[in-house]
Amino acid sequence: MAGLPAFTEVAARSATFASHRFLLNLRISSRLTCTTALLLRRPAAPHVVIAAAALFVAYDVALFCVLRRGVPVPHRLRLAADAADAAGWSAALVSPLAPAALIVAPLAMETALWRGWRALAVPAVSGSATAAALLTLHVRVGGPLAVLPAFALPALGVLGGLLLGRYLQGRVHERLRQAEAERQAAAGRAELAGRHSVAVGADTALDVLTRTWPLLAVPGEPIGFPLAAWRHALAERTADQADYLGTALLRWEQRHNMAHAELRRDVEFAVAREAAPLLISPAQLAALDRALAGLGLRGRVPVSVRTPRPLGHPQVLAVGPHRVELPQDPLSGVPPFDPGPMVIAIGGIGSLTHALREMDGVPLPVAACLTAVALLVSLWAHRQIAARGSAARPRVLAACLAFGALDAVVSTATMTTLRAGGITRQPYLHFLLFAGPTATMYLRDLSWRRRAGALAAAGVVLAVSVALLPVPLSPADALGLLWPLAFTVGASSLRDLLDEENLAFGDVIEREHDRAVAEGFRRGREDVLRLVESSAAQARDRLRRRRDLIDPVFLPEIERRLDHVGRCLAALRSRGPGGGRSPGSRTPPAR
């Protein structure tokens, strides 16, 4: 779409912000959790542990500030520093490894955003460094040796980065596609308004000229009016453009009523308010024309839409007593991009970590079943979004909370690892890692009742899960809330940025929309003026060539009408395009 930025330019700011905010939130959460675990295991030297943690937190904040300012930091240098960082904390902790392994996850996600699958080098390098450190420690002092989290958790960061990048880019693609369809529809409506502005002022021009052509008839010689060819050309020009349903019906109504002279066969559509602004793709417009042509419509015909759906998706219309189905457009029916299904899928894949002995020790078949259920729920949510657009978000959030409740209750009831690193394992907190960000992205678009219902449901799940824990909680276990809090705050910040970018991007689209409306109005006005001028010139030429054959009784009236048309055209040309009002509203009014 001319005048609009490329989607990579728009998504770049959101992607960069998300990765940097994720780095700060997750790294600080990891430091606090690692520090608490070390203090519980080595209470003899708390000042050393706290000082080390403070230094690393200061390093994380400084890195965040440097990256936010756009200062380039070589990727290899960051990878080496993060790998050494994670290996050092892992060697100090030995178990649990998860907090230390997650130190590398932000870099893995950021690399995946910009480099795709090549980001798998991050978990490979960092996992190998951690494995080497733990192996050395195992050879020297013995103890457990479990390195799977060192590879698996950074790999989840890669997966998250790939999916986040697809969501952000797809979100802009969808916005551009919708904006292009709106631009085409608004330009088409403005073109109709431009023609109408001339036609109304040209009742003594276009209409008079239409009534004049029959007077130029010559016995034995057929006469044709150029209006038919003009209508055909206009129909071809708008055949490959999206349009509002209200405007498309008005076009069809005009073509139908001008195709015959019997008033009793005229059609006047009464389009419901919610149906008029519905965007229809070019293929669906063709299907609508074919369907209307076979209905034998007459008189006033009410039109409504059963359930409005996104651009290019199947639509069901009620046209009078008839049901008209517009099939899905295979070219433009791309499902809307939405974070809900993606986050549910990531959460389900994360449920596999319940089976790790260092995590919760849930039996692997149970964890695998939870993942399978999550993927099915994600697929269902994706289809809901594809069919209903943003209107499906309450259902998707409800499904997300339902799976979260299942995951929390089942994992807590089947856990075998009760404590790790001196901290009680709380597997039910995993559901907040995906339900929290989903709710944060959705709640602003929901009613207050649905917001309250979602928060109440999350509270009930937490209460039930805490009751199922086989061991009591201690004050130190409250640190477990840091992880869902970090993800939720990051999602909230991302939503803030997306809303901000949406406004800025909307300004660009609005300017392009206004330009298209002005151009459509000018083009529509110019079409009618050219039609009248060309027809008037042909009429004068025919009068000059066939004057001797035309009935003399009609000659004075023909000349008077042609002179009148000439004066009207001169007045319209002198007023210029500003003589009519270009419609600025983005939504066509219901008729």
Report how far apart, in Å, the C-alpha atoms of 118 and of each of 101, 155, 184 are: 19, 12, 40
- The stretches of 202-281 forming alpha helices (DSSP H) are 206-212, 227-237, 245-258
Category of 15 on φ-ψ map: left (φ > 0), alpha (ψ -120 to 50) or beta? alpha
- State both tokens at 218: 């010559």
Alpha-carbon radius of gyration of the chain: 34
Query: What pLDDT shows up at residue 11?
Result: 56
- Characterize 442-461 residue by residue with b for buried, 16 or more Cβ atoms within 10 angstroms of its Cβ, and e for exposed: bbeebeeebbebbeebbeeb
Structure tokens at 513: 């929309």
- Phi/psi at 211 (5° precision): -75, -15
pLDDT digits (tens, 9 = 90+) for 328-352: 776 554 455 677 888 898 889 889 8
Q: Name which of 317, 278, 262 is nearest 295 in CA terms.
A: 317
Give the C-alpha separation, 87 to 499, whole Å: 38
pLDDT in the model for residue 585: 43
CA–CA separation, 282 and 181 (whole Å): 10
Residues of the chain below pLDDT 70: 1-15, 43-44, 95-97, 139-145, 168, 170-171, 175, 192-193, 195-204, 206, 220-242, 260-262, 330-337, 421, 493-494, 496-509, 513, 575-591
Cα separation, 464 vs 461, whole angstroms? 5
- Residue 342: what pLDDT? 82
Q: Which helix (H) or strand (E) holds 102?
A: none
| pLDDT value at residue 576 | 62
**How many Cβ atoms sit within 10 Å of the Cβ of residue 269?**
22
What gap in Å lies between CA 241 and CA 181, rounded to an integer? 8
pLDDT of the residue at 580: 47
CA distance 135 to 78: 24
Round to whole Å and give the CA distance between 576 and 526. 10
Judge whether 264 and 300 are in contact, CB under 8 Å: no
Give the whole-angstrom CA distance, residue 185 versus residue 192: 11
* pLDDT at res. 7: 42
Q: Is there a contact between 206 and 199 (Cβ–Cβ < 8 Å)?
A: yes
pTM over 0.85: no
User: Which residues, 6 or more positions from 224, have their beta carbon under 8 angstroms from its beta carbon?
Assistant: none
